[in-house]
């Protein structure tokens, strides 16, 4: 049994959408455009132009609908760790240490410095 096609952005099922996906197809859950590089089986961040298909024209914005004739939707395109910018600092935390969770109150720090309580 093949894996179910899901949205590249939110991971919602796309089984109700007709295949092949048209250029204007959108996720019914999050509204993301679906005829995009991020949902294509040729998308690979480790390759030149982030595409395994050498004959394909370069597409600058990998998350916007395009006219690429090489587009083939990939069921495993959703990656919860990279779909959102909220986790962008996590790799840096490993290199530089985690950022402090709460900022100290500046006034109380000054009072401690000058001996006022």
Q: Can the peptide bond before residue 90 be classed as cis, meaning omega within 30 degrees of 0?
A: no
**What's the confidence (pLDDT) of residue 2?**
61
pLDDT at 62 over 90: yes
> What does the pLDDT read at residue 106?
79
Write the CB contacts of 52 (distance below 8 Å, at least 6 apart in sequence): 42, 43, 44
Cα distance between residue 38 and residue 45, in whole Å: 10
Q: What is the pLDDT of residues 65-110, one digit of tens each?
A: 999 999 999 988 888 765 444 445 556 666 666 555 566 677 888 7
Per the structure block, which two tokens stand in for 94? Answer: 């490993």
The answer to whether 73 and 40 are in contact (CB under 8 A) is yes
Q: Report pLDDT digits (tens) over 51-60.
A: 999 999 999 9
pLDDT tens digits, 2-47: 688 999 999 999 999 998 999 999 999 999 999 999 999 999 999 9
Q: Specify whether the CB–CB gap between 42 and 20 falls below 8 A.
A: no
């Amino acid at each position: 049994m093949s894996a179910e096609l899901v949205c590249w952005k939110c991971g919602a099922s796309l089984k109700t959408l007709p295949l092949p996906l048209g250029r204007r197809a959108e996720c019914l859950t999050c509204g993301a455009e679906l005829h995009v590089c991020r949902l294509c089986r040729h998308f690979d961040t480790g390759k030149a132009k982030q595409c395994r298909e050498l004959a394909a024209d370069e597409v600058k914005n990998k998350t916007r609908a395009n006219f690429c004739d090489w587009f083939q939707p990939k069921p495993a395109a959703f990656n919860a760790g990279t779909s959102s910018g909220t986790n962008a600092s996590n790799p840096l935390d490993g290199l530089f240490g985690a950022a402090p969770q709460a900022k100290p109150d500046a006034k109380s720090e000054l009072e401690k410095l000058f001996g006022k309580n």
